[in-house]
Structure 1
Amino acid sequence: MISEDKISHIPVLLKETIDGLSIKANGIYVDGTVGLGGHSKEIVSRLTSGKLIGFDLDPEAIKITRNKLHMFEDKIILVQDDYKNIIKYLDSLNIREIDGVLLDLGVSSMQIDDPDRGFSYTNDGKIDMRMDQTKGISAYEILRDAPFEEMAKIFREYGEENYAGKIAARIIAERKDKEIETTYELAELVKSCYPSNYRDGNPAKRVFQALRIEVNQELSGLYDFILSVSLRLRSQGRIAVISFHSLEDRIIKKAFNYLEKDCICDKKSPICTCNKRREISIITSKPIVASSEEITINRRAKSAKLRIAERI
């Protein structure tokens, strides 16, 4: 584990996100993915009588953010839980409406840089990838136990990996003699399945992404969560979501488009019978991306996309 004083994290699209949320000093805000508190700090520092409720699955992230934001302890509630349980938590506090919600769906620098977490193919360590290392099945267990069809499907659907079958077959063959235990071992195995002239970044990136998504069930429930939490926004309340790969962005776009429609009847239907109402107005017709200046400072911002919508 990396010591707290050595952890460095630059929040992605910070100004664009905070401006997009249009913070009200007396508002109630939810940060569904607190991480190391970069966005949360900017939100809570703008509150007077307002409140911020922050969620994160990673207990270490909650601990660090609690220490970092101790001066705002009267304005912030931190909860170690999945953001998908936010509605249940708001109900427990009898909070019917909120003024804004933020999701930053990326992995934090702390998680990527810590070899013990197993998120990165650039740091050698045990393959784990769980946001909460006390629960669930690790990536190591998937590589050890998953049958060929399941493993290939994970790589294909969550990593959009062209060599999914070949990589899964190689893993199955290798583990008969020796289990794949470290990130470097996995990265080298994936590399061996690619043509020698491959030049488009590290070949392991899609497999690592796929395993992380599967381990943490990152896509499961995202669409339904956006629908339900958007309906908890009061009028002119905003939702901001930062994604880092096309699978997430497509889900966010689909959810926003559904919420903005005022009718979902068949186009051939002479009258509307669905009773669907338009719930939001999409603020970002196209996702906001990082500037070249930000990418120079923080290369992890390169793939970030921010979408924002406002409750009508």
Structure 2
Amino acid sequence: MHAHRPVMLDEALTGLGVSARPQGLYVDGTFGRGGHSGAILDALRGGSLHAFDQDPEAEASARVHFAARPGFHFHARNFSALAEVAASEGFAGKVDGILLDLGVSSPQLDDAERGFSFSHDGPLDMRMNPRAGLSAADWLARAKEEEIADVLFVYGEERNSRRIAKKLVEARAETPITRTAQLASLIASVPGPRSHKINPATRSFQAVRIYINGELEVLQQVLQASLAVLAPGGRLAVISFHSLEDRIVKQFIRDHAGPRLARDKYAHLKEAPAASSAPLRELERVFPSTAECARNPRARSAVLRLAERTEVPA
């Protein structure tokens, strides 16, 4: 059923501590095609799982493959609705683990019709929920040159952003930019600094996708919601695939966590730190194994950050 094994599956389950609390209540904020959800459900013994995904295809997959599984609840919403759903369903402050696997799922990337990938030609869409908001083509047709340049620079860390934006605005005056291959070749035709390790379109496609879906804003919303939703001792596990997301997650955990325990060989000689008044405790950062990176190149950029909810009110 699951053609794609999710990145860092074992590490995420270990980090969430599902096997220690199989009767617990868990949240998978990014259902996708249910790889993580299925593994969590397999480990539960009387527990429950609330899965979120705004993608209609993810919802259809959940209905077909998961509807009959005990303890499974699906919410056809963006994970930014976590606090609202937790309040209405009565599980605020009771969650033992929240898992967020950020970015685009493999099925979304592999389906040319969704317009996420420059590897397959398709309509330039890029919306996680194709029924809502502007498509990438619609946005590129009307955005000002300066706005396009800013999006490419801020969300894609694209050094060539101004030249690319100028080229796109010139090109769209002649022909609308409506296909992924068309956009990728326009970007590739722009001279300027670039990495030889990645396709010239990589950063721009990432930037437009993040902007179109408001990904960094909704990430900040769900992280904030986690403080109210997690039970004391509940775990937050976030898998990021690029530095912008990871920076937000790291900053959020640091902003809400007490000082980290000393990790040096003299730690046992030092006074124990006073009980922290912070709502989170920062746990380790985990990277994928060499074997997984060899098996799945997408895993190479992944990082898993873990934090634990303390007793302190948010």
What is the TM-score of this pair, normalised by structure 2? 0.89
Report the Cα offset of residue 199 of structure 1: 1.8
Given candidates 308, 311, 314, the residue that maps to 1:310 is 308
Partner of 2:91: 95
Structure 1 partner of 2:131: 134
Give the AA of the match of 2:84: K
Q: Does 1:281 align with 2:281?
A: yes
Q: Output the CA distance in 2 between the equivalents of 1:198 and 1:25.
A: 46
Distance in 1 separating the partners of 2:195 and 2:50: 45
Q: Distance in 2 between matches of 1:203 and 1:50?
A: 46
The count of aligned residue pairs is 291
Judging changes above 3 Å, is the alpha-carbon distance between structure 1 residues 226 and 198 closer, same or farther for their aligned structure 2 residues? Answer: closer
Structure 2 Cα separation of the partners of residues 253 and 128 of structure 1: 30
CA distances 1:216-241 after superposition (whole Å, capped 9, x unpaired): 10001422421331332112110000
Counterpart residue identity of residue 294, structure 2: T
- Alignment correspondent of 1:272: none
Aligned 1:107-256 pairs, distance under 5 A: 107-195=104-192, 199-256=196-253
Summarize the Cα distance change of 1:311–1:135 in structure 2 as closer, same or farther, 3 Å threshold: same
Which residue type is aligned with residue 15 of structure 1?
D
Residue 9 of structure 2 corresponds to 14
Q: Do the aligned partners of residues 244 and 198 (structure 1) sit closer, same or farther apart at CA in structure 2, a change above 3 Å counting?
A: closer
The amino acid of 2:148's aligned partner reads M
In the alignment, the residues of structure 1 paired with residue 55 and residue 191 of structure 2 have an alpha-carbon distance, to the nearest angstrom, of 34
Distance (whole Å) between structure 1 residues aligned to residue 188 and residue 297 of structure 2: 23
Q: Residue type of the partner of 1:278? A: A
Per-residue deviation, 1:67: 2.0
SS of residue in 2 equivalent to 1:25: coil
2:287 is aligned with 1:292:
no
What is the CA-CA distance between 1:155 and the residue it aligns to? 0.3
**1-structure distance, mates of 2:239, 2:33:** 15
CA shift for structure 1 position 300:
1.0
- Provide the C-alpha distance between the structure 1 equivalents of 2:191 and 2:220, rounded to a whole number of angstroms: 33
Pair 79,197 (structure 1): closer, same or farther in 2 beyond 3 Å = closer
Give yes or no for contact 1:9–1:108 (8 Å, CA) kept in 2.
no
Check conservation: 1:235, 1:311, Cα contact below 8 A: yes
Q: Which residue, 48, 64, 82 being the options, matches 1:67?
A: 64
- Matches of 1:245 and 1:12 in 2, distance apart? 14
Write the mapping of 1:247-266 to structure 2, written as runs, cut at 5 A. 247-261=244-258
Deviations 1:38-78 (A, max 9, x none): 11111111112211000001010121133222441x21001
Q: Find the aligned partners of 2:194 and 2:291 in 1 and give their Cα distance.
A: 31
- Structure-2 change in CA distance of 1:208 and 1:88 (3 Å): same
Look up the match of 1:51.
Answer: 48
Unaligned runs of 5+ in 1: 263-275
Partner of 1:265: none
How far has the Cα of 1:125 moved from its partner? 0.6
Bigger shift: residues 151-160 or 223-232: 223-232
**Equivalent pair of 1:26/1:49 in contact (CA under 8 Å):** yes
Question: How big is the shift at 1:106?
Answer: 2.4
Instruction: Flag as ranges the 4+ runs of structure 1 deviating above 6 A.
Output: none
- TM-score, structure 1 length as denominator? 0.89
Say whether 1:41 aligns with 2:5. Answer: no
1:77 maps to amino acid: H
Distance in 1 between the 2:95 and 2:194 partners?
A: 52
CA distance in 2, matches of 1:202, 1:85: 34
Report the AA paired with residue 254 of structure 1.
Q
The answer to whether the 8 Å contact 2:287/2:302 transfers is yes
Q: Is the 8 A contact 2:6 2:35 kept in 1?
A: yes
Match in the other structure for 1:270: none
Q: Distance in 2 between matches of 1:125 and 1:64?
A: 22
What residue number does 1:80 align with? 76
* Structure 1 position 195, deviation (Å): 4.5
Q: Which amino acid aligns with 2:9?
A: L
